[in-house]
Structure 1
Amino acid sequence: VEISLEAIDSQAQIRVRDTGKGIRTEFLPYIFDRFHQGDSGTTKANQGLGLGLAIVRHLVELHGGTVGAESPGEGKGTTMTVRFPLVSIPQEFTPPTDVEPPVFTLPLNSSTDSAPSLEGLQILAVDDDPDTRELLKFVLAEYGAQVLTVGSAKEAIAALNENLDKYDVLICDIGMPEEDGYSLIKKVRTLDAESGKIPAVALTAYASVQERQKAIDAGFQKHIAKPVKPIQLALIIADLVGKK
């Protein structure tokens, strides 16, 4: 990866060039459009909604800048160029020294008085993103649950088969490499004993009405769109298993 910064006329130009995967010529004109991806399947290796570069363009334009992309084609790398207008600072300008530091307070409705208890629940959480797995484990443990996290549908099935009656709730991402959440829940519903009946929550960035119905039809009891507040997730799980 090569990164350069230079002043061109009245603009600052940041250029990032790599020799990686590159971009197909026919896809290049749409790279900054919302919900456009080179690979949009639910089992693609790199998950996402196709919003990243659209957000980049929006933020750059808010600062009066421009962003563009160039690529000779797949396998030939990509060059991203961002330009911002340079603003001259008057010589007599003096930064303020009496600015009070910001004070952060919890919102009024953040009380844990009505927080549900997940004490004693064994939860199996499936997500291919390591940070999401770590967050789920931490958040649900705060409400008393014991959480095993795995990174794929294959690992989830192995965990369920290892102890058929251990888990009380399954939380599963939809978009995962190799095998997605829809395929996983269909396999779970064919398992013997209580594992096949395990209450299941689809926790996913696929948030449309159609995706919600698809998740329910596949075998999930609940569909939750990311991002979700921890207490909302805990409340939904508690309701699903009949805990207060």
Structure 2
Amino acid sequence: MSEIREQGLGVREQPNPNPQSPTPNPSIARLTITDTGIGISPASAPRVRLLPAGRRRNHRKFGGLGLGLAIVRNLVELHGGSVSASSEGENQGATFTVELPLLKTADTQHPTPDIPLSPDSPLAGVQILLVDDEADTRDVTAFTLEEAGAIVTQASSAIKALQIFEAVRPNVLISDIGMPQMDGYALMQQLRSNLRQTGTKAIALTAYAGEINQRQAIAAGFQRHLAKPVDPDELIATIAALLDR
């Protein structure tokens, strides 16, 4: 909840005088946050998974890489909920609504035991080394991959990834590009021989989108280039395809 709260606080320029109070549904928990900031164009509002155009242009003013909305939606959907956005237009603020199903009393009294991971899980047993200097992005990505059966080791920097690569010997390396001290391209240069020896596949998962950045990533040795925020199903499918699963 703190992530979506920060989305509103990060762009609010004056207090909102008209908070909304939706009609309650006893089976759904609803959180509505309205800001008075840069707004969203009507055409972009339904695409909450992607960063709306208005917020991309202003991300330097308001801070962040614009991954918060994607992180919120991924987490909410993993819990069976939904996220929606509405706005009167650019520079007219925006409203974000999170809905989550409530547990029934019977379910609370008699919780269903955890179901063991099925060997049919798409990434069952796959060793993944995940490299990203943004802790929130790492945690959400790791959670998504682990839910698909993968075994994820996280590294907060390219230097840390170099230190633990031999111990992990991953099937797949997923790395950000823009990191301090050593970027993803330099990491690939350092690991090139190791990747050949271990047969490790490499995916660039980065905010550097576009065809030019994709070509640079492939030239650096990555097999795939995925732009943040990535759809979880696309990420899992990409890994499975690289491993011929």
Q: Provide the TM-score with structure 1 as the length reference.
A: 0.54
Provide the rounded CA distance (Å) in 2 between the counterparts of 1:33 and 1:103: 25
Which runs of 5 or more residues in structure 2 are unaligned? 1-12, 16-35, 38-54, 67-86, 102-119
Q: 1:198 to 1:37 in 2, by over 3 A?
A: same
Report the counterpart of residue 222 of structure 1 in structure 2: 224
Would the aligned equivalents of 1:215 and 1:223 in 2 still touch at CA under 8 Å? yes
Q: Does 1:63 align with 2:92?
A: yes
Report the counterpart of residue 210 of structure 1 in structure 2: 212
Provide the rounded CA distance (Å) in 1 between the counterparts of 2:219 and 2:157: 21
Alpha-carbon offset, residue 191 of structure 1: 2.8
Alpha-carbon offset, residue 61 of structure 1: 5.0
Report the counterpart of residue 137 of structure 2 in structure 1: 132
Alpha-carbon offset, residue 5 of structure 1: 6.8
Aligned 1:90-239 pairs, distance under 5 A: 117-163=122-168, 166-191=169-194, 194-195=197-198, 197-239=199-241
Would the aligned equivalents of 1:167 and 1:198 in 2 still touch at CA under 8 Å? yes
Q: 1:142 to 1:191 in 2, by over 3 A?
A: same
Provide the rounded CA distance (Å) in 2 between the counterparts of 1:162 and 1:228: 28
Alpha-carbon offset, residue 33 of structure 1: 9.5
Please say which structure displays the higher CA radius of gyration. 1
Alpha-carbon offset, residue 192 of structure 1: 7.5
Cα deviation digits, residues 136-177 of structure 1 (max 9, x gap): 1110011110000111001111111335xx310000001111
Higher helix content, 1 or 2: 2
Cα deviation digits, residues 29-81 of structure 1 (max 9, x gap): xxx9938969xxxxxxx9848xxxxxxxx9995328xxxxxxxxxxxxxxxxx
* Identical pairs, percent: 39
Coordinate RMSD, CA, aligned: 3.9
Alpha-carbon offset, residue 225 of structure 1: 0.7
Amino acid at match of 1:62: N
In the TM superposition, structure 1's runs of 4+ consecutive aligned residues that sit over 2 Å from their partners are: 32-38, 46-49, 58-62, 101-105, 190-195
Would the aligned equivalents of 1:118 and 1:143 in 2 still touch at CA under 8 Å? yes
Q: Provide the TM-score with structure 2 as the length reference.
A: 0.54
Amino acid at match of 1:178: Q
Would the aligned equivalents of 2:121 and 2:149 in 1 still touch at CA under 8 Å? no
